Amino acid sequence: MKKRTMVIVGIVVVLFIGIFVLPNLLGGKKEAKSNMKPAVEDFGIEYFEVPDIEQVYINGVVQPEQAEAFSKDTKMTSTPEIKVNNGDVVEPETELFTYEDKEITKEIEAQNNTLTKLATKKQNIYNKWNRAIDNYNKTKEEDRSTTGAAIDEQHQAEVDSVDEEILFSNQTIADLSTKQFISTKAKFKGRVSIPEVKDENAPVLRLTSDDLYVAGKVNEKDLMKISVDQQANLSVVSSGTTVKGKISYIDDNPPEAKANQSDSNNADGSMSTYNVKLSLDSLEGIKNGYHMQATINLGDNKPIEVPKKAIYDQEGKKYVLVNDFGSVIRRDIQVGEEKGENTVVNFGLESADRIIVSSKKKIKEGDLIEESNVESGEAAPAAKE
């Protein structure tokens, strides 16, 4: 009996272990495995370090030097007649569109009707004049009550009176014609843009100059570091297109709204900003409205020479791969002359960039790499995309 009891107890212990203990142990191992972070692979990278240069960054938007939107004249009941086409480049004083003043048109029509009546009246006077002469010639000399000269004088006076009225109507029409159509002309050379949607708020057309600049802002901390005519490297945020330029204007005063803020309103520690204009050396790949970032290198502007094998080409665009705090990112660059094993990079790089020159294993944009010391020795070139 005692032996039987011990067997039963042993079975219960085994079942308890199978049901409760083993699943927890196995589950714990799985959970531990799931919490393990993947190891970041060491690629054995050779770097080129860009010198640490103080830089000022200016974010801005591409704008035309001159622009004008022509709103509809609410006083006019007529639809403007556009004299140009969408996309046309027009010179100053080119007629863009005209309005017809309907009231003046009615007055001109009334004067034209008056002219028609006066012409008829004049013709009737001539007819009456001719009849009077015929009757005079048919009447015997002793029966004539007046002279031929008197007849001519009377009818000529009537014709002269009608001619005065005709002259007045013609002058009135000429004066009204100068006001019948109100013309709007271009004030500067620019490109015409005609809105496709003709709603109430849409302008008749827009005129924008083809010369573009970047309108940016700089904070008070960086204001004293920059100056007019200082060289700048600019990059289109969306496409990476790069272009050289320079600072063409710096406003000495912040916008009124910012300047009038009290210290209590600046409790968050924000700084005033100042408007800056940057000219562009080239407009290739640049359009009105593009967002751009300008980089101003302070101090030594000596060109940066980067090893040729660190520079890649994709459809004519040059770029390098950079270790950005453990992530591989791409920097589009503009290159200059070649100097032996190096190539001058005019712009596109940032201060203290760690450019990947070569690696033991293939590297591409988006890879995660270790922040380890630079390895020496022979290494295979980094993989091109």
Q: Is the Cβ–Cβ distance between 268 and 244 less than 8 Å?
A: no
385 residues of the chain, pLDDT tens digit each:
444 555 565 665 556 555 555 555 555 444 434 344 444 456 788 999 988 888 899 999 999 999 999 998 888 878 899 999 999 999 999 999 999 988 899 999 999 999 999 999 999 999 999 998 998 888 888 878 888 888 899 999 999 999 999 999 999 999 999 988 889 999 999 999 999 887 778 899 999 999 999 999 999 999 999 999 999 989 898 887 888 899 999 999 998 755 455 444 444 458 899 999 999 999 998 999 999 999 998 876 677 899 999 999 988 888 999 999 889 999 888 888 899 999 998 778 888 899 999 998 888 899 998 655 444 334 444 544 4
The token pair that represents 181 in the structure block: 């159509």
pTM of the model: 0.57
| Neighbour-count burial of 369, counting CB atoms closer than 10 A to its CB (0-12 exposed, 13-18 middle, 19+ buried) | buried
Q: Under a CB-based contact definition with an 8 Å cutoff, are residues 227 and 250 in contact?
A: yes
**CATH 3.30.540.10 holds for 54-65+211-299:** no
Domain 38-53+302-385 sits in CATH 2.40.420.20: yes
CA distance 119 to 132: 20
- For 116-172, give the DSSP string: HHHHHHHHHHHHHHHHHHHHHHHS-GGG-SS-HHHHHHHHHHHHHHHHHHHHHHHHH
- Give me the residue spans of the domains in the chain: 1-36, 38-53+302-385, 54-65+211-299, 68-209
